[in-house]
Structure formats: structure tokens, C-alpha cells
Amino acid sequence: MRPDDQAGMILGILRESYPNAQTALVHGNPFELLVSTILSAQCTDQRVNVVTQELFTRYRTPEDFAHIPRRVLEREIHSTGFFRMKAGNIIGCARAILERYKGEVPAKMAELVSLPGVGRKTANVVLSEAFGISEGIVVDTHVHRVSKRLGLAGSDSPVRIEEELMDRYPRRDWREVGTLLILHGRAVCRARSPQCASCSVSHLCPSAELYL
């Protein structure tokens, strides 16, 4: 296919820049991905992976996590920040999944966002990466920043940005759009000093600081 629109061309180029784009959060099952995604709030995925590499050797299932004393889990995830809230939410998720969903992570948006500490962003990560379900597009701090810079979205609220992206891309690309914009935001279109000179889509970017 030869996309002739701005959004399509950007996706096509990013697709070549980042082959096999998928979440950088290391996980072995849907529940591990849920835990990793909760831990990833305001924290680098690299640090999350360091913490979970150790954590998941001791606990892997909702049953395991539901019985961890809060103080113990707080200590294990301390370096990811927001550790009290995250520990409470992770244990709360584990117990809710045990009691309400027979120990299986639910594969529905409404049920996922009913879990403590799980919003639309986290739910979209789990739905798309663990279950292959594209109900929406992941809008995190990277997607927020990059889509605005590229002119793919003009809003400030995550929900509206998600709607704008969903309107621009076919559903089959939703998962890829999220992961590609995250990867590009982390590697090139950084918050502090964007690397416009080495950006593969700078020629399509209204915000690019062109100097070459």
C-alpha cells in the first residue's frame, strides 16, 4: 500500500525505523504485563524491567501477589517511585482478579479499568499487547508529546488525543501506532532535546527544528 496522507506516511516510515515494534516491558503472561504497566507510571521501562526480573522469579500469578505483605512488596518495587500507591494497587488488582475474575486477567476494557490503579492507558497496553485486542490506542506521555509535535493530534487531554489518532488510523494499526510513537519518543523525539537532525520523519513534522 502507498499511503498518500500525512499520518499514513509517518506510520510507514516509523514502521521501517522500528521493525517488530512491541512493548519493551518484559513479561511472561497477561498478569505480569499488568503489573509491569502499573509499575511503569512515571518510571523508565528499563528500571521496571530491572525490578520485575527479580520480582517475577518470586511471584508470577494473582494468587502469589495477593498474599504478599504490603511492606514487603513496597520494598521490592521501591526504586520505581510511587511505591506505596503502586504496591497497594498491585495487591488490590491481584485480589480483585481472584475474587471477581476467577484468577484470570479480564480481556475487556470496562473490567480492566475497574481494577485499582488501572486507567485507560494501562488497559490499552494489556488489551493490545497481551490479548491482541485493539479497543483504543495507548496514550502515554510519549504518545502525547510526539503526536502533538507531528501534528497528528491537537488536543491536550489524553482521551481526545486518543480519539484523534483513532480517527486518523485504521483499527488494524492502533496497536502499532502506540508502540511506534512510544519508541520514537524515547529514542529520538525526546521531551528535553529532540534529535530532529536524525529524525526519519522530520520532513513531515511541523515542529521540526531544521538545521542541515
Partner DNA sequence: ATCCCGAGGG
Partner DNA sequence: CCCTCTGGAT
**Shortest distance, CB of residue 12 to DNA, whole angstroms?**
21
- Of 86, 102, 140, 148, the active-site residue reads 140
Cα–Cα dist 19/8, whole Å = 16
Rounded distance between C-alpha atoms, residue 107 and residue 157, angstroms? 25
Are the C-beta atoms of 33 and 27 separated by less than 8 Å? yes
61: its cell numbers: 500469578
CB of 47 to DNA, least distance (A): 7
- 45, 86, 121, 148: the catalytic one is 121
Catalytic, 108? Answer no
Per rule CB under 7 A, is residue 201 in the interface with DNA?
no
d(CA 178, CA 183): 9
Q: Which is nearer to DNA, 11 or 41 (CB)?
A: 41
- Residue range at the interface with DNA (CB under 7 A); choices 59-67, 96-104, 163-171, 179-187: 179-187
CB-based burial of residue 8 (10 Å sphere; 0-12 exposed, 13-18 middle, 19+ buried)?
middle
Query: Can 86 be counted among the known catalytic residues?
Result: no
DSSP state for residue 113 in the 8-state scheme: T
Residue from the set 116, 148, 163, 208 that interacts with DNA by CB under 7 A? 116
d(CA 156, CA 203): 24
Distance CA 109, CA 184 (A): 26
Per-residue binding string, DNA, 123-142, x by CB under 7 A, is x-x------------x-xxx
Binding region for DNA (CB under 7 A) out of 3-11, 35-43, 97-105, 162-170: 35-43
Active site residues: 121, 140
Which residues contact DNA by CB under 7 A? 23-25, 37, 40-47, 78-85, 113, 116-123, 125, 138, 140-142, 145, 179, 182, 185-186, 190-193
